[in-house]
């Protein structure tokens, strides 16, 4: 298969998207020294927000249209942004090796979650993080963080809240290592499906582009996110559920743990399942069915009927 002499990589605008794009550009140029990679930035409807729950088709529409219109050859997505249902003409060619999937806590004074005083405020940008914070510390005031990550940090520095929860990979890519006071274990906060992972999409008809991208695919990471997305799909796949799932693959075996929490943190359904990594999709769906039967269905119905 002849590779393209030049590959146009489409990404969203913004500082975080640029960091992701340069990582992939360097990997592609290292794998294919004779192929030039051009980063093409495309604004989307949600570019004013860089950290939050799944946002649906509005965040991928411009990239999808650019692929269909031959303005780009491949699209790079932060995987939690990628809708569960994709156009038939597109294929996820590669899921590069996943980075840290966990959530972290940032505080202006370096305190960890257990050191915050009752009544102090903690901000997060998704229902999953907010609900799990309340589930762990119901004596704190949990609030929604709005805007970009830079805005969140400024709000923290200005004292609008005492703690901020965000994705570890975002803090890493923005160079905020010194601002992180705690990395959460899954006992405290299970991340949203796909967190820490990227996805490279192309038209299924572009065999040359697929050949160029497929070397970046990491099998273990692909199996893990496949299980997580199957779990989310079985739950209904709605945006911003108070729920998280994380899969890990070791030695061909996949373990996925998940949680569904009421928005007030009072009701929790937590479960895990293990099986062959090659059965990732079936394992994720099976885990979701088990949790729905154990009470997650009632939590999600109450969530849908109330305010978010």
Least confident of 22-31, 94-103, 170-179, 262-271: 170-179
pTM for this structure? 0.92
Residue 306 has pLDDT above 80, yes or no: no
pLDDT of residue 47: 46
pLDDT 10s digits, 218-233: 999 999 999 999 999 9
pLDDT of residue 144: 95
pLDDT 10s digits, 23-60: 999 999 999 999 999 999 998 655 444 454 445 566 78
pLDDT of residue 237: 80
pLDDT of residue 14: 80
What would the CATH number be for the domain defined by 228-303? 3.30.160.40
Residue 13 has pLDDT above 90, yes or no: no
Residue 307 has pLDDT above 70, yes or no: no
pLDDT of residue 118: 98
Q: Which two tokens stand for residue 21?
A: 């794009």
pLDDT of residue 50: 46
18: pLDDT confidence band, cut at 50, 70 and 90?
A: confident
Q: How far apart are CA 135 and CA 119, in angstroms?
A: 15
pLDDT 10s digits, 75-97: 999 999 999 999 999 999 999 99
**Architecture of the 6-96+197-217 domain:** 3-Layer(aba) Sandwich (3.40)
**Architecture of the 103-183 domain:** 3-Layer(aba) Sandwich (3.40)
pLDDT of residue 56: 55
Q: What order of strands is seen across the sheet that includes strand 90-94?
A: 36-42, 6-12, 74-78, 198-203, 90-94
pLDDT 10s digits, 109-164: 999 999 999 999 999 999 999 999 999 999 999 999 998 899 999 999 999 999 99
What DSSP line would sit under the chain, residue for residue? Answer: -PPPSEEEEEEESSHHHHHHHHHHHHHHHHH-TT-EEEEEEE--TTTT--SSS---GGGTHHHHHHHHTTS-SEEEEEGGGS-SS--TTEEEEE-PPP----EEEE-TT---GGGSPTT-EEEESSHHHHHHHHHH-TTSEEEE--S-HHHHHHHHHTTS-SEEEEEHHHHHHTT-GGGEEEEPPTTT-PPPTTTT-EEEEEETT-HHHHHHHGGG--HHHHHHHHHHHHHHHHHT--TT-SEEEEEEEETTEEEEEEEEE-TTS--EEEEEEEEEGGGHHHHHHHHHHHHIIIIIHHHHHHHHHS--
CATH 3.40.190.10 domain range(s) in the chain: 6-96+197-217, 103-183
């Amino acid at each position: 298969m002849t590779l393209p002499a030049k590959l146009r990589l489409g990404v969203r605008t913004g500082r975080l998207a640029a960091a992701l794009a340069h990582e992939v550009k360097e990997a592609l140029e290292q794998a294919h020294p004779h192929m030039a990679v051009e980063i093409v930035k495309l604004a989307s409807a949600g570019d004013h927000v860089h950290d939050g729950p799944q946002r649906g088709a509005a965040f991928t529409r411009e990239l999808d249209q650019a692929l269909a219109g031959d303005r780009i050859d491949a699209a790079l997505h932060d995987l939690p942004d990628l809708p569960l249902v994709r156009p038939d003409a597109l294929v996820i060619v590669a899921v590069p090796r996943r980075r840290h999937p966990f959530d972290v806590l940032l505080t202006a004074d370096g305190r960890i979650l257990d050191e915050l005083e009752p009544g102090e405020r903690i901000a997060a940008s998704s229902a999953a993080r907010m609900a799990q914070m309340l589930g762990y510390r119901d004596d704190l005031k949990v609030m929604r963080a709005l805007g970009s990550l830079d805005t969140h940090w400024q709000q923290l520095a200005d004292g609008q809240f005492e703690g901020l929860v965000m994705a570890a990979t975002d803090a890493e890519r923005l160079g905020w290592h010194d601002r992180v006071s705690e990395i959460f274990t899954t006992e405290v906060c299970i991340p949203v499906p796909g967190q820490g992972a990227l996805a490279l999409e192309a038209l299924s008809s572009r065999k040359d582009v697929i050949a160029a991208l497929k070397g970046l695919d990491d099998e273990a990471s692909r199996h893990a996110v496949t299980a997580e997305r199957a779990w989310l799909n079985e739950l209904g796949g709605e945006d911003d559920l108070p729920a998280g799932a994380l899969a890990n693959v070791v030695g061909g075996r996949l373990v996925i743990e998940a949680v569904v929490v009421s928005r007030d943190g009072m009701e929790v359904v937590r479960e895990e399942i293990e099986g062959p990594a090659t059965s990732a999709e079936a394992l994720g769906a099976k885990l979701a069915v088990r949790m729905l039967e154990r009470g997650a269905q009632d939590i999600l119905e109450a969530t849908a009927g109330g305010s978010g």
